[in-house]
């Protein structure tokens, strides 16, 4: 069996080649990078620093379970060679023992995290929108995984401890993400945070930072105690701590969203333009901001030409949007036609009368015998009225022919879709959009 040198103050030195944390660290790094590249590699996202930091952590669900298994192995070896009875009672000594065993795993996790961060940072023009919330939740995830693995290694024999730590740590990452009906459970682990900031209007909900931190601290306290206390004496106190911490974390995470995100306040936005006044977040590049202002200004002229009134203030989504503003749900990566389609959708949502019918047009049936939703048609024709290209604005459908075994899903061309809708030209779309808009005004009156 390998020997550990135990120093007078409780510190230990490890035989490098056989230490589980040393050989597992490169594997943890590789799995975190692999997880990121296989899930999000090549996926375009808005140039937002918090978004980059959050997305880089998606690979933790692959790498941290291995780190937990290695931590369990390290704890088992530490207890065999440095029994709790030989440790001094000072927490500082116990902390030094854990750090001596686990620091390679911490380093491996952060290297695996920083590689995708640096790759994605190449798309940023500046360190914009940076907060400490995302790095804090990732630190909690690393501490929780290593502390959990160390604790499992303290309680179970080596042949059981390592696979148990790996499987349970993976379930800790995977199961809450699949739990669509209990968002509190989903957000106590921290693994939902990688989706928090894909759009510049979002930021990580602080409740989704505090909840994982509470559990990480609980796991860390138990792991620290396991260095100095026999497992049988620690079992009941550890169970009480875990139940209390889990209940507290679930309570803290109550009301959080599936993506652990919350909208930023409107005061964060920067407004430019006159007709209309366009308010976007400062992370949007000057070139994109100018393009948005020009496109929306042209759309406003087209709308006025057809007697359609656009609100004079268009804002990105915020937690406190002005009542008289039109909220525009559009990515800063949107093309001109995508932006106009988003504007049309927002305009339709803001003026839609639930009891009104579509004037002058009976929505035809698709071959699937399902009616085209009215809001889809409205968005399409309004986008054309605002200046979008007819083909680019045409909605897409996938049709499964009924009663034909082995038939493939069909995707009609834009001209075929317009034929189904009875809209053959720009003039048809504009007339239909104008009729719909007039009906909404009458309905609201």
If asked whether residues 74 and 138 sit together in one domain, one would say: yes
If asked whether residues 41 and 181 sit together in one domain, one would say: yes
Tens digits of residue pLDDT in 229-243? 777 788 889 899 999
If asked whether residues 346 and 245 sit together in one domain, one would say: no
If asked whether residues 80 and 108 sit together in one domain, one would say: yes
Number of domains making up the chain: 2
For position 427, what pLDDT does the model report? 87
If asked whether residues 230 and 318 sit together in one domain, one would say: no
If asked whether residues 408 and 293 sit together in one domain, one would say: yes
**What is the average pLDDT score of the chain?**
82
If asked whether residues 330 and 192 sit together in one domain, one would say: no
Q: Residues 371, 365: contact at Cβ < 8 Å?
A: yes
If asked whether residues 76 and 160 sit together in one domain, one would say: yes
| CB proximity list for 212: less than 8 A, separation 6 or greater | 137, 140, 141, 144, 187, 188, 189, 190, 249
If asked whether residues 12 and 140 sit together in one domain, one would say: yes
Tens digits of residue pLDDT in 267-325? 989 998 888 999 999 888 888 889 999 999 999 999 888 888 888 899 999 988 888 88
Domain that holds residue 298: 268-444
If asked whether residues 203 and 329 sit together in one domain, one would say: no
- Percent of the chain's residues with pLDDT above 70: 81
Among residues 216, 243, 263, the one where a domain terminates is 263
Strand blocks (E) in 7-108:
12-13
10 Å Cβ neighbour count for 229?
Answer: 20
Tokens of 76: 């088992």
**Alpha carbon distance 369, 367 (integer Å):** 5
**Alpha carbon distance 399, 328 (integer Å):** 30
Average pLDDT over residues 335-355: 82
If asked whether residues 145 and 15 sit together in one domain, one would say: yes
Residues shown for the chain: 445
**Alpha carbon distance 307, 323 (integer Å):** 22
Residue 204 phi, psi (nearest 5):
-70, 130
If asked whether residues 252 and 105 sit together in one domain, one would say: yes
pLDDT grade for 9, boundaries at 50, 70 and 90: very low
């Amino acid at each position: 069996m390998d020997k550990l040198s135990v120093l007078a103050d409780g510190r230990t030195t490890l035989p490098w080649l056989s230490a589980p944390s040393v050989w597992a660290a490169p594997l943890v790094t590789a799995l975190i990078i692999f997880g990121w590249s296989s899930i999000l590699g090549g996926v375009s996202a808005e140039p937002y620093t918090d978004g980059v930091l959050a997305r880089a952590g998606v690979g933790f669900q692959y790498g941290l379970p291995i780190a937990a298994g290695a931590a369990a192995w390290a704890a088992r070896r530490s207890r065999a060679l440095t029994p709790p009875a030989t440790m001094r009672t000072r927490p500082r000594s116990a902390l030094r023992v854990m750090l001596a065993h686990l620091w390679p795993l911490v380093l491996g996790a952060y290297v695996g995290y920083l590689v995708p961060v640096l790759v994605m940072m190449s798309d940023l023009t500046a360190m914009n929108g940076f907060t400490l919330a995302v790095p804090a939740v990732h630190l909690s995830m690393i501490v929780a995984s290593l502390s959990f693995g160390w604790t499992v290694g303290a309680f179970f024999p080596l042949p059981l401890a390592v696979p148990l730590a790996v499987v349970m740590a993976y379930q800790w990452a995977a199961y809450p993400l699949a739990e669509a009906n209990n968002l509190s459970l989903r957000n106590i682990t921290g693994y939902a945070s990688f989706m928090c900031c894909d759009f510049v209007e979002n930021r990580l909900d602080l409740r989704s930072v505090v909840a994982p931190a509470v559990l990480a601290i609980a796991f860390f306290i138990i792991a620290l105690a396991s260095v100095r206390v026999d497992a049988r004496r620690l079992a009941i106190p550890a169970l009480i701590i875990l139940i209390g911490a889990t209940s507290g974390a679930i309570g803290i995470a109550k009301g959080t969203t599936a993506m652990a995100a919350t909208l930023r306040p409107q005061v964060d936005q920067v407004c430019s333009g006159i007709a209309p006044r366009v308010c976007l977040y400062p992370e949007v590049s000057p070139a994109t901001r100018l393009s948005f202002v020009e496109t929306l200004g042209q759309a406003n002229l087209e709308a006025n030409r057809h007697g359609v009134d656009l609100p004079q203030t268009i804002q990105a989504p915020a937690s406190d949007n002005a009542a008289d503003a039109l909220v525009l749900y559009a990515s800063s990566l949107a093309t001109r036609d995508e932006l106009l389609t988003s504007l049309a959708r927002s305009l339709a949502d803001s003026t839609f009368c639930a009891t009104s019918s579509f004037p002058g047009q009976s929505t035809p049936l698709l071959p699937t015998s399902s009616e085209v939703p009215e809001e889809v048609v409205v968005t399409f024709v309004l986008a054309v009225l605002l200046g979008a290209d007819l083909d680019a604005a045409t909605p897409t459908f996938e049709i499964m022919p009924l009663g034909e075994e082995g038939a493939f899903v069909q995707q009609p061309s834009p001209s075929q879709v317009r034929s189904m809708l009875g809209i053959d030209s720009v003039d048809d779309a504009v007339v239909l959009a104008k009729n719909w808009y007039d009906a909404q005004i009458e309905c609201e009156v």
